[in-house]
Amino acid sequence: MKAIEYVYAARHKNRPTGMAYIRNIFTDFIELHGDRRFGDDRAIVGGIAMFCDMPVTVIAIEKGTDTKERVSRNFGSVHPEGYRKALRLMKQAEKFKRPVICFIDTAGAFCGIGAEERGQGQAIAENLGSMMELRVPIISILIGEGGSGGALALGVANSVWMLEKAVYSVISPEGCASILFKDPQKAEIAAENLKLTARDLFGLGVIERIIPEKNTESVFNIIKKQLKAELERLIAKSGDELREERYNKFRGIGC
């Protein structure tokens, strides 16, 4: 498969979205709404659920499954209040000492007047810094599109995993092609060069694990199994150790 084919697969409308993962991996999910500042961003679903007899905080970017829902979820493009809701739930998780599991699937943080007025940049920045400091385990899983800062705002985790056909990139191949090559038709070349597939990112040390995609059922089962093992490893660590591990993971990327 070419890189651009992974991009199309990651965006495919029949691909399971955030809620499907919450429903199939956890039990007793109770959704918690709102950022307590401005509103409730439906592009982010968050709440508490049970996993292996343990309460966990689950946060997912949800694109929606039919046209009506997609519109109400803003196609999974998050506003600042969505990131602030996510952060509120993460701090709540820290207070009650439960792990945080994030599912990422977004073309990017929303570009619009309201999003800028309410500080999209500031909201993402605050999430990056605060996630780095969180004293409970964080696991982030890229299930579809990982669009730039809008994806990273839920991606500062102890472990970052990617589905085999998910992509994670600093910019969309189309955006990159139109800026650098002055031709959006060159998205295929851009996709190849951006190194955005799970295999590329594993090779670059940005992600820890690739979840193979045989079929939807097997994906849920593999995530369940891996999540159980990884949470056991992380729960044994102190808050300081978790922070140290997270800092060192990102500290080592680059040069």
Partner 1 sequence: MFNFRKPKNELELILKQGKKNTPTIPDEMFTSCPGCSASILSEELIESLNVCLKCGHHFKISARQRLNALADAGSFDELFGDMESENLLGFPEYEKKLHNAKLATAENEAVICGTCEIGGNPTAVFIMEGDFMMGSMGTVVGEKITRLFEHALKMRLPVVGYTISGGARMQEGILSLMQMAKTSGAVMRHGNAGLLYIAVLTNPTTGGVTASFAMEGDMVIAEPGALICFAGPRVIAQTTRQKLPPGFQTAEFLLEKGFIDAIVPRKEHKNTIAKLLYMHRGASE
Binding-site ranges for partner 1 (CB under 8 A):
109, 111-113, 115-122, 124-126, 128-130, 132-133, 148-149, 152-153, 155-156, 168-171, 176, 179-180, 189, 193-196, 200-201, 204, 206, 246-247, 250-251, 253-255
Cα separation, 251 vs 29, whole angstroms = 34
Nearer Cβ to partner 1, position 200 or 230? 200
Closest separation in Å from C-beta 219 to partner 1: 22
Closest separation in Å from C-beta 229 to partner 1: 24
Closest separation in Å from C-beta 215 to partner 1: 28
**How many Cα atoms occupy the beta-carbon half-sphere of 61 within 13 Å?**
32
- Asked whether 122 and 82 are in contact (CB, 8 A), the reply is no
Cα separation, 160 vs 152, whole angstroms = 10
Closest separation in Å from C-beta 182 to partner 1: 12
Nearer Cβ to partner 1, position 47 or 146? 146
Cα separation, 79 vs 2, whole angstroms = 32
> Which residues partner with 194 through β-bridges?
none
Nearer Cβ to partner 1, position 49 or 152? 152
Closest separation in Å from C-beta 197 to partner 1: 10
Nearer Cβ to partner 1, position 33 or 237? 237
Closest separation in Å from C-beta 31 to partner 1: 27
Nearer Cβ to partner 1, position 112 or 212? 112
Cα separation, 58 vs 185, whole angstroms = 38
Cα separation, 20 vs 224, whole angstroms = 13
Sign of the CA dihedral with 189 first, then 16, 229, and 28 last: positive
Q: Which of 56, 142, 45 has its CA nearest to residue 94?
A: 56
Nearer Cβ to partner 1, position 203 or 225? 203
Q: What does each C-alpha distance from 80 to 39, 86, 114, 123, 156 come to in angstroms?
A: 10, 10, 9, 5, 17
